[in-house]
Amino acid sequence: MSSDGSSYQNWQLDVDAAGVAWVTLDKPGESANSLSGAVMSELALILDHCDRSPPKGLIFRSGKSAGFIAGADIQEFTTLDTPGKAVALVARGWDLFNRLAGVRYPTLALVRGHCLGGGLELALACRYLLAVDEPTTRMGLPEVMLGIVPGWGGMLRLPERIGPQAALDMMLTGKTIDGQRAKRLGLADDCVPARVMDNAAAVLVLADQPRRRPPLLQRLLNGPLRRLVAHGARKQVAKRARVEHYPAPYAIIDIWAQHQGNALAAPELIDSIVRSSTARNLVRVFFLQERLKGFGKESDYQAKRVHVVGAGVMGGDIAAWCALRGLTVTLQDQGMDRIAPALQRAYAMYRQRIKGPHERRNAMDRLIPDPEGHGARSADVVIEAIFENLEAKRALLQQLDAVIKPDAVLATNTSSLKIEDLNSVLRNPERLIGIHFFNPVAKMPLVEVVAAGGADPEMLRRGTAFVKQIDRLPLPVKSAPGFLVNAVLGPYMLEAMRAVDEGLAPETIDEAMLAFGMPMGPIELIDMVGLDVAMAAGKSLAGSDAEPPKCLRERFGAGHLGKKTGKGFYDYRDGKAAKGLAGEVPSGLAARLLKPLLDRTQQLVSDGIVADADLADAGVIFGTGFAPFTGGPLNYLRNQDA
C-alpha cells in the first residue's frame, strides 16, 4: 500500500494496488475512537485529497481493538454555552457527512466492535456498511440517552435505510443491534467473519452495485405516511418519558417528521435541547458512569469459579448472571427443591439474552447445582446470599472460612447488616467484604463493594475487579447499616408509608413521584422489595426505636408480602400492579417524600460512607433509578438551592 504523503494525527490513508483507499481511524492515547473536532477536520482534509485524486473506492476502518467509533467526543458537549456553538456543532457533522454521502466514488464502512452515535452516522453516509460477525459488534444511535438528538444525519439516513419504525425504535430508546440483526434490517449489506472482512470489504466496494431499496411500504411510511408513524411514536414515548423531563425523544420525532431529519432546519429546537438542563445532567450521568467503570481497572485479577450460597431470588440470580458472563458457578442451598426454581429463572433469562441454543446450553452448563457445597473449596469468589439473619449468616461464614482457598474472595450480599457484625467469627476477619447486588440483578447495573474497618485492601481490589469482570458498576462504600443505596431508600419508603397511614392512597403517593421523574413510585417499590424485607431491614435502617408504620404491620401480619405473594399494597395480576385511579396529588407531596432521601444522602457523604457527592449521586441513580434527568439527588439539591 502507498500513503498519500500527508501527516494526519488521527487518521491514516493508504491506497492499495487496486486503487482502493483504506482510511484508518486510530486516535492516539485513547482506548476508543471518538469524533472530536480535530478528527472531523482531518476527515475533511482526507476528502479534499480524494477529490483531487479519486480512489476506486474508499473504506473506513478502525485501528482500535475496542471497536469502530464510539461516537462524538462527549467532553465537547460541556463547552456548548451559547446557541451559536450548539448549532455549529450540529452543522459540523451534518455538512461533512453530507459531503461524504455525495462523493462520486463508492464508500464503505467496515464495522467491527461498537459503532455508535456519530460513528454510525458516518457509516450511514457511506454507500455500503459491512459488519463483522462478532458479539462485540454493536450499532446504535444512543444520543437520546444523553438528552440530545442524532443531528449528523442519523435522523435522515437511518429511516431511509431500514424504514422509520425500526429506525425510530433505535433512536428513541438508544438500543443497539448486532451485526446479524443489522443485516436483516438492511442497515448492513452483509455480516462476515473477521477472517475475511478485509477481502469482503474490497470486493463489495469495487463491485460498486446499487444498494437494495427498502420495501415499498417502508418508503411510504418514510414519505407520505410519516405523520401517521410520528403520531404512533409520540404515544409510545409518552408511556415512558414525560416531555418536561426528557424532551429529546419528542424532538427526534418532530425533526424527522417535519424537517426530514435535518436538525439545522430547527435551530431554536436544537438550542433548547442541547443546552437544556436535561442534556447537561444526562451528560453528567455519563461521566459518573465512566468514573464507576474506572474502579477495578488497576487490578488484573480475573476470577474463573464462583460459589454462591443461597438459591433464593437474589442468590440464584447472582449465580445466573455470573454464569452468563462466562464464569463457572456452583449454587448451594439445602436441597435441589430449593435450587430448581433458580435454574428455571436462569433459563428464562438466558432465553431472552442469548440467541443461539448452543450458547444457551453452554451458559446453563456453567451454572452447576451444588446442594452439598463442594464448589466452595475451589472457588475464586464465594458469595453468601442467604436471608437477612445475623446468626445464620455468621454460622455460614464460619463454615465457609474453614474450607475455602486462603486467597479466595469471601463476600456477603447482606443488604442491611454491618460487615463488622459478621466478620468477627472468621479466623481473619479482615478478609470479609460486602458485594451487594440489587434486585433485579440482571437489570440493576450497580454493585456496592463494602469495606469494613481494617478490610484487606487486596480483597477489596479483587472484589472490585470481579464486579467489573461481570459487567457491573462497582461503587466502593464503607460498612454501615444499608451502606449507601438502601440507607437512602429506607427513610424515603418510610415517609411514603407514613403518608399511607395519614390516609393518602398508595396510587396518589406513587403518582407524585412518577410525576417527579422516578421510574417507580415508593409504594410499588416496597411491594417489589417485599414487605418482609422492609420489616426486617426497618429497624437497622430507621433506628431500633422506630415503630414500623401501621400499614406495613397490618399487611405483613396478614401475609401480604408484596409482588412475590400476589398482594401487598397492591394486588398483582400477571406480575403487574392493579392500581386504581390516583387522586389529586397534594401540593408539596413530592418534596416531602424526597426530603428524607436527600437529607440521608448528604449525611452519608458527610460521614464518609461514600467518598464524595458525585459518587453518592452515581450510586443513587444506578442503584435506585433516581430520576437521571436531575443528575442525581445532591446535584438536584444544589440546583434547587441555586
Active site residue 436: yes
C-alpha grid cell, residue 223:
414519505
DSSP assignments along 24-81, one per residue: EE--TT-SS--B-HHHHHHHHHHHHHHHHS--SEEEEEES-SSEEE--B-HHHHTT--
Closest CA to 147 of 270, 230, 301: 270
Residue 239 is given by DSSP the state H
C-alpha grid cell, residue 424:
468477627
Active site residue 114: no
| Residue 407 amino acid letter | D
**Catalytic residue chosen out of the listed positions 33, 36, 415, 540:** 415
* Contacting residues for 194 by C-beta, under 8 A, at least 6 apart: 112, 132, 133, 134
C-alpha angle 263/264/265, rounded to 5°?
Answer: 90
**Catalytic residue chosen out of the listed positions 448, 495, 507, 524:** 448
Q: How many angstroms separate the CA atoms of 260 and 263, rounded?
A: 9
C-alpha grid cell, residue 177:
443491534
**Catalytic residue chosen out of the listed positions 36, 62, 436, 540:** 436
**Catalytic residue chosen out of the listed positions 413, 486, 540, 635:** 486
**Phi and psi at residue 18, to the nearest 5°:** -85, 0
Residues in the chain: 642
What separation, in Å, do the N-terminal and C-terminal C-alpha atoms of the chain show? Answer: 59
Question: Packing angle between helix 313-324 and helix 357-366, nearest 10 degrees?
Answer: 120
C-alpha grid cell, residue 34:
471518538
Q: Are strands 138-140 and 177-178 parallel, antiparallel or unpaired?
A: antiparallel
- How far is CA 296 from each of CA 96, 111, 299, 380, 474, rounded to the nearest angstrom? 39, 29, 6, 16, 8
Q: How many angstroms separate the CA atoms of 143 and 151, rounded?
A: 9
Active site residue 65: no
Q: How many angstroms separate the CA atoms of 480 and 597, rounded?
A: 16
Helix (H) or strand (E) holding 116: strand 114-116
C-alpha angle 29/35/39, rounded to 5°?
Answer: 70
Contact 280, 313 (CB under 8 A): no
Active site residue 486: yes
Q: Are strands 11-15 and 305-309 parallel, antiparallel or unpaired?
A: unpaired
Closest CA to 77 of 121, 35, 120, 29: 35
- The catalytic residue positions are 415, 436, 448, 486
